[in-house]
Amino acid sequence: MSVTSIRIVGVGGQGIILASNLLSEVALAAGLEVKKAEAHGMSQRGGSVTSDVRFGDVVHSPIIGLGDVDLLVAFERLEALRALPALKPGAAIVLNRQSIAPMPVLSGKAQYPADIEQALAREAGRLVPVDGPLIADALGDPRVINSAVLGALSTLLPFSDEQWRAAYEQRLKKKGLEVNLRAFEDGKKQAAAA
């Protein structure tokens, strides 16, 4: 298998690191070599968080070069827009339909762009939207948005449901396991229907 390069972007508190850990564990369970790198910019204050996950038969570096992202997983719309220059031509984007206003927007110094999804659709080889907040709200737990997004992502990857479940069982406490797995399934169904 050639190397697959996935960039996960969002803001602090959205569960980006947990999502990248789960993805890494699934790829490891599938017998692949995995490398991962993270960047936290004021993440505790709602700043940007990026995690690169690369997997394949042989992976030499965790760092993804500019224009080498095969698949972008965006937990927040504006962060997806910021990550566009990193994409390969024809790359897929999994987009969580959530907008979190950055400080310049909150202070009135800037406006949140209105046409982000259309811009992403023009640039992506495939755009897979998922409404993580809606799924989480229906399940009564805002912490499972990242699992809904991973469920949507799973429709683009060659890993089995059993491998995903095993990663969840290994990483999460028993208490939150079932609600996260339900969010994962709902995200997967939503992506398949898109």
What pLDDT was estimated at residue 38?
A: 87
Residue 108 has pLDDT above 60, yes or no: yes
**151 is a domain residue:** yes
Number of neighbours of residue 31 by Cβ within 10 angstroms? 8
Q: How far is CA 54 from the centre of its chain?
A: 13
Residues 162-190 have a mean pLDDT of 93
Which is nearest to 52 in space by CA: 80, 65, 191? 65
In a domain, 74, yes or no: yes
**Averaged pLDDT, 65-93:** 95
* Model confidence band, residue 102 (pLDDT cutoffs 50, 70, 90): confident
Which tens digits make up the pLDDT trace of 26-41? Answer: 999 999 999 999 886 6
Q: Which helix (H) or strand (E) holds 137?
A: helix 132-139
Beta bridge partners of 95: 74, 129
Q: CB-based burial of residue 15 (10 Å sphere; 0-12 exposed, 13-18 middle, 19+ buried)?
A: buried
For position 47, which CATH number holds?
A: 3.40.920.10
pTM for this entry: 0.93
User: Quick check: 42 pLDDT over 60?
Assistant: no
User: Which percentage of the chain shows pLDDT scores above 90?
Assistant: 77
Domain boundaries, position 67: 4-99+114-193
Query: How many domains does the chain fold into?
Result: 1
139 within some domain: yes
